[in-house]
Amino acid sequence: MIIVLFGKPGAGKGTQAPLLAAALGVPTLATGDELRAAIRSGSALGLEAKAYMDRGDLVPDAVILGIIKQALSEPRAAKGVLLDGVVRTVPQAEGLAAVCADLGTQVDAVLCFDIDDDEIVRRLASRTICDTCQHPRGDAEPGDPCVQPGCPGKLVRRKDDEPEAIRNRLDVYRRQTAPVLQWYRTHGTKVATIDAVGSVEEVTARALSALAP
């Protein structure tokens, strides 16, 4: 089972991904988390990605497709994977389809979390994430401890949550990412739109019911 979580930055994909993955019994792949981990480790991948990410631009498709290919080939992905933050361009959709075809699988559904720009700007301006496990919070201050069980991390602001980067990310979404939905529709993949405004539990329930047969 391969599910693509889709939507504007700040739509709640990162909050919903672990909840949906637990309910569906598959792991998550969050390319943003992978890239931030690469930056922290000082790897060549991290060095290449950092400037793009700080500006709110997309990291080149070849880099993302390398991450996807490796993750989908791992044994932990044998039953499928929930993709959080992939697919963000039409070439990524094409590349993912090719990787899936090689592995004898396919994207089963795209869940599009729907939310308007004003709500996004409000959410991202008050978002913090854990510097260790990356879990996002909307109701805490930088420096507060992470509340995920057993995590020793502390909350920080993301550089790409600054107002200028947020504006750029929304613009990038409209120009490069939004056309991906039409690509999936024309290729016969189920696309379900989920109202992303509501409590975390409400949005999880809407997403799971959209996936029900």
Q: Which residues bind ligand AMP (CB under 6 A)?
A: 9, 31-32, 35, 52-53, 56-59, 64, 85-86, 88, 92, 160, 169
Nearer to ligand AMP among residue 24 and residue 165 (C-beta): 165
Nearer to ligand AMP among residue 14 and residue 24 (C-beta): 14
Q: Which value, in Å, is the radius of gyration of the alpha carbons in the chain?
A: 16
What is the rounded distance in angstroms from the CA atom of residue 112 to the CA atom of residue 119?
Answer: 16
What is the rounded distance in angstroms from the CA atom of residue 120 to the CA atom of residue 197?
Answer: 10
Side chain identity, residue 49:
A
Shortest reach from residue 213's CB to ligand AMP, in Å: 28
Shortest reach from residue 102's CB to ligand AMP, in Å: 19
Q: How do 81-84 and 28-30 pair as beta strands?
A: parallel
Looking up tokens 């590349």 gives 95
Give the residue numbers marked as catalytic: 13, 88, 127, 158, 169
Nearer to ligand AMP among residue 50 and residue 190 (C-beta): 50
Provide the 10 A C-beta neighbour count for residue 179.
12
Bond preceding residue 172 cis, omega within 30 of 0: no
Shortest reach from residue 177's CB to ligand AMP, in Å: 8
Number of residue whose CB is nearest ligand AMP? 32
**Who contacts 47 (Cβ-Cβ below 8 Å, separation ≥6)?**
39
Q: Is 8 helix (H, G, I), strand (E, B) or coil?
A: coil
Shortest reach from residue 128's CB to ligand AMP, in Å: 13
What is the rounded distance in angstroms from the CA atom of residue 121 to the CA atom of residue 189?
Answer: 30
Nearer to ligand AMP among residue 109 and residue 129 (C-beta): 129
Phi, psi (degrees; rounded to nearest 5) at 116: -90, 165
Tell me the two tokens of residue 146.
């992470």
Nearer to ligand AMP among residue 70 and residue 209 (C-beta): 70
